[in-house]
Amino acid sequence: MSTTSASADTTRRGLEVLVTGMREQRAMFSLALFGSVVYGALTVADAWVLGWATDHVIRPSFADGELVVGAAAVAVLMFVSVAIVRGLGIVARRLIGGLVYFRLMADYRRRVTRRYLELPLRWHQRHPTGQLLSNANADVEATWAVMMPLPMALGVVAMLVVSVVVMLLADWVLTLVGLVIFPLLFLINVGYQRLLSPRVTRAQALRADVSAVAHESFDGALVVKALGREADETDRFAKTAHDLRDANIAAGRVRSVFDPVLEALPNLGVLLVVVLGVERVLSGATEPGDVVQVAYLFIVVGFPVRAFGWVLGELPRSVVGWNRVTAVLNAQGSMPYGDETLANAPARLSLHEVGFGHGGSHPQVLSGLDLEVEPSRVVALVGLTGAGKSTLASLVTRLIDPQQGTIALNGIDLRDLTHASLAASIALVPQQTFIFDDTVRDNIALGADTPDDEIWHALETAQADAFVRALPDGLDSQLGERGTTLSGGQRQRLALARALVRRPRLLVMDDATSAVDPEVEQRILHSLAGETTGDLGPTVLVVAYRKATIGLADEVVFLSDGRIADRGTHDELSLRNAAYRDLVDAYDQARDGEPVDE
């Protein structure tokens, strides 16, 4: 695509963005535009008052040697009245125009965030977190930044029309001379936009790259520090940051060339009007007031006309931001929910012919898997790495959907449940826990109005009550970003309490006690077993590695190559299945020499 056609396409798409913004904030934008029109009209009126004052106050006062008091009072009153109304127009234009801009940003940030929540986990795994942050922040901001100067730019149209009419009535010769400048301004603005567009487009795209690299560096800080790769990571970030710097400088160079030219042209028009106007006054062809009026109008109109340049300069960034934002909003892969609800009863988990694969050259992770878990039972999932344990945990909690088969709770397909019912019925405790930079209470309740006694009960079941009571402020203790003030085992126990306080019908633990001392883990599992003795106790599915953990389960499911190779109690499998026995023994031998977290 040629530079000209690419620029034309950018302009067309940019105008579509503008129309979208004006349509979505129709009422507020109309008010901002009205304020801009009032400002433009009163600016022209100010020029007329200045011309009138020149002919009826200034010239007569010089001629008579004394001030014409009555005319001067009228002139002052007109100037003050015009200034007040014009000031109100400026306030409306800027204040309401700002509201349009900030409302659009807030609305689209909410839309992007809602779309993130609707999209399945697989979609998120294909997109870097830094890019997603950039989409919701920098890209939304870039999309709607053009709305700030837009009311002024459109109000300039009204100002120009009225100005030209007034100037033609005052002196058509001076007006035609001065108007030669405006076609030049338009052509320069078009060239400005065409040169600036590719540079701004590249700069906006690089903002997302910088955000992605920075987020990855912060997220991997432990690895970077532990392996002494600070210099390499700094160089990697510096390269991306320097690319963004160079792109911004390239755009700045274009602005530095065109801005002085756009600033100077209206002044040249004023100079031409004054020079020619003096000649016409001396020849008696026009009055001094008319020359002052026309010259003043060229001065005041020249600056607002620059608003067209600002709009054109922002269009490329707006288009890039819009493309990136709409890519999220139009992304495919939503997880629709049904309208079924799950009764508050023991949960029976049923998997029928479940299959799942990552596609491409990757092998099928699960294939033809059938599993029935009775209510309030504790079932351990055991298998080699890659056997499909974590995938199965994600499937039964509906973080992902199976590509074949069905997964049901009490006979209801998970896909038919409402989102609220699914969230209330199933809880996942992953190995990698996330703790918010908040209090213990808010990390457990997550915004719900949960009584403290229920929080303490969940903490006791998770064997976390002792260390929480030892914290300076108990439940009100701040935990720091990602729970940095806690050990790995403490974070895992808080995550378990977070799940238990919701009284789920199905509790899935994906190696959720890997950082916990074996003795503490035993107490946790005994507490969970106690929880399941009641009629409403949760069904527990635990991805397990330790022999002691596996031994406490009511049943063990041994996975191999995405299928159930065997199932039964730990003792039964140990006797009849050599592969299972060797795997569990190998797990325990590998853990013997490892330091554990109390």
- The reply to whether 136 and 244 lie within a common domain is yes
**Quick check: helix, strand or coil at residue 372?**
strand
**Looking at the domain assignment, is residue 557 inside a domain?**
yes
Asked if residue 116 is part of any domain, the answer here is no
Average pLDDT for runs of 10 along the chain of length 598: 59 83 89 84 76 76 72 81 82 85 91 85 76 82 84 76 73 71 71 73 76 74 72 83 86 78 72 77 75 70 64 76 87 80 82 80 77 87 83 86 88 88 85 80 83 86 84 81 75 85 85 69 70 63 80 85 86 86 74 45
Residues 287 and 152 in one domain: yes
Between strands 412-413 and 506-510, the pairing is unpaired
Number of H helices, E strands in the chain: 24, 10
β-partners of residue 417 are 340
218 and 277 co-located in one domain: yes
Same domain, 289 and 376: no
Instruction: Determine, yes or no, domain membership for 80.
Output: yes
Per-residue model confidence (pLDDT) at position 401: 85
| pLDDT score for 3 | 54
């299945």: which residue's tokens? 577
What is the token pair recorded at 220?
């991997």
Report if residue 105 sits inside a domain.
no
- Same domain for 236 and 139, yes or no, is yes
| Residue 103 domain flag | no
Token pair of 268 as six digits: 């040249």
**Is 262 a member of any domain?**
yes
**359 located within any domain:** yes
Task: Give the domain range for residue 21.
Answer: 3-98+124-329
Q: What is the pLDDT of residue 597?
A: 43
Are 354 and 261 members of one domain? Answer: no
Residues 403, 522 within the same domain: yes
3-state secondary structure 31-86: HHHHHHHHHHHHHHHHHHHHHHHHHHHHHHHHHHCCCCHHHHHHHHHHHHHHHHHH
- Out of 295, 329, 363, a domain closes at 329
Residue 343 inside a domain? The answer is no
Q: Are residues 259 and 151 in the same domain?
A: yes
Q: How many domains, in total, are found in the chain? A: 2
Q: Looking at the structure, tell me whether residues 147 and 217 fall in a common domain.
A: yes
pLDDT of residue 107: 93
Nearest to 341 by CA among 414, 394, 448, 427: 414
18 shares a domain with 67 = yes
For 36, residues 6+ apart whose C-beta sits below 8 A from its C-beta are 89, 92, 93, 97, 151, 152, 154, 155, 156, 158
At residue 594, the pLDDT reads: 46
The structure's pTM equals 0.65
* Cβ contacts of 521 within 8 Å, gap of 6 or more: 513, 546, 548, 549
Residues 84, 157 within the same domain? yes
- Identify whether residues 432 and 500 lie together within a single domain: yes
Tell how far CA 357 is from the center of its chain.
Answer: 30
Tell me the CATH number at 78. Answer: 1.20.1560.10
Q: Which CATH number is 543's domain given?
A: 3.40.50.300
Give the largest Cα separation in the chain, rounded. 124
pLDDT at 598: 38
